[in-house]
Structure 1
Amino acid sequence: MEAVLRNVACTVELLAVAAHSGVVSQWDEQTVSRAFHWATYCEHIYIRFHSNPVIRGVLEKQLQLTNHSLKEALPEYNEVSFWDLGRCQNLLLLWMLNNSALPISIMKMLFETRVSANNINSDYEDVRGLCSQLIQCRSACKVLHHLLGLPTVGAEAQVQGEMLMERLGFVLSQNGDSRWAEDFLSSVLQEFEGAAQHLCPVIAAALLTTTDSAAQTASQNFLLDWLQSQHGVLQHMCSALPSKLLADLAKKHQKFRDAFCKLLKKWASEMEYRINEGRKRRMSCRH
């Protein structure tokens, strides 16, 4: 039992590091896999002992001691309860993604959608594509929830848009320098390089996310300002997205409406009417 208590305490400490320490900037795939291995271990402990009042009491006492010491070292630390052990992997993933020190390489690995031939061969968890699996599950929930009317952007884009807003909001709240948020958005743009048709619906979904706080509104305003500086992305959005979706964006955001109208005027000024070509088109239509 002492070994179990020690392992649980160490895993809770690992969660605190994942959430609040800059040490994660040095993590690699194997380190992350080991972390999820121990998170899975805690979930097994919860399943095995949640209905045993004696052992559960011992585990809860250990959690209180560990939480107390971590709270003294990290004032922003959120305590882990016995119930949290049952969702330890979810906590680890969420707290890792909310840590601005998490390397972009690890984020790409977690969001990977293709099976890699370079997956590590070890006794630890295979975490490649873990976020993609989560997105698929949440997308299915969105589809079932909106059977009478699916969002225009699609369920998967809506989930990714919400995650983009959550991550951007956290980065903005943790760093006074906006360059951190700009670097994050640049990394997102780089990740979708060559696949703008997938990025545009995600950005649209993020901008259409219901704002229930001043922080979320600030995140959307920052995303709009960034979008206006990325002329290529903005132009592709306005030419590729459905007109209804563009109308919804223009209705909700004055900044998007102004940028969209300016782009439409630019396109109109560049249009040319060529009589000869017009006649050829009409003649071909008649035949």
Structure 2
Amino acid sequence: MEAVLKNLSSTVELLAVAANSGAANSGAVEQWDKHTMSRAFDWARYCEHVHSRFHNNPAIRRVMEQQLELTNRSLQDVIPGYTEVSFSDLPRLQHLLLIGLLNNPELPISLIKMLFDTRSPLDNMQSEYQDVTGLCSHIIRCKAACKVLSPLTDLSAAGAEVQGRMLMERLGALLSRGSDTRPAEHFLGCVLQGCQGAGRQFCLVITAALLTTKNSAAQTAPREFLLDWLQNKHSVLQSLCSALPATLLIDLAKEHNKFRDAYCDVLKKWASDMEYCISEGEWVQTSTNPTVSFHKLTEKFMALFEACPSLRANTEKELKALKISDGDFDVKGLSVWGDLLSALNM
């Protein structure tokens, strides 16, 4: 952990240097070359990864916040007008680094040209600095695509289908240019960020993309990529399973085994977050999704088993094992798994 904190401080200091002209530091931006800038973005990505890994760990997060406070205080003493970096800023550190560099008049023109190079890594996979070459041009293209794909206020089924096809076409184009999936991940991240406040519409577009995809070789890669992305984006997956009508969820489960398994895992996660309320005589959600009742959860399981019969035996086996780990009691209110099994087999 000591090494992580040291790297965190060093990266924040690097960000401060990038954003301030005339900084009294041997790594002043006017002395940077392509390799230096590439390494700077590597460290920014490192901090984004650290945030992703530890943001749900209160103890480690507290230690990191304390380290950031010390680093900010130190930088305020030596850099006039320094802007503090908070823990919540870490997920967008590459963006902050880029903005800082572009606002710094000491940034060499050669590096500016590289950032706006139209022969981006997507087109020039042999570039030694493919992580940053054409970065600005790539962001501009992504923002343009996001604008077109941004959900409409009243998204019709036809509108979702059109946007879904566009989403898959864009992902297909990004994935066809090499084995590096990061451009496609960045693109989906931009779309997701642009859809803040319109989560249900975003879920409808993803669903349309997965349900309207043709079974052609050209569509296999974007379809599999989108399914894997969903499995790794737990918050998006849970929102999708919560926001979509049951019929669409079942359609996705029947069409894609990966989604079927991921959906089942979400239902089990919701069950694990339930506690028995003695006053109500029922299992209730404690944190994950307050809108899903025990009755609704049971209905979702039953609909999934009816649509995908092969899933039932293995899932019930897992639920029985979880019930045994709770003490294997058959008394209502002692184990959510036991009560869920009883409800499913009534």
Q: Which has the higher helix share?
A: 1
TM-score normalised by length of structure 1:
0.48
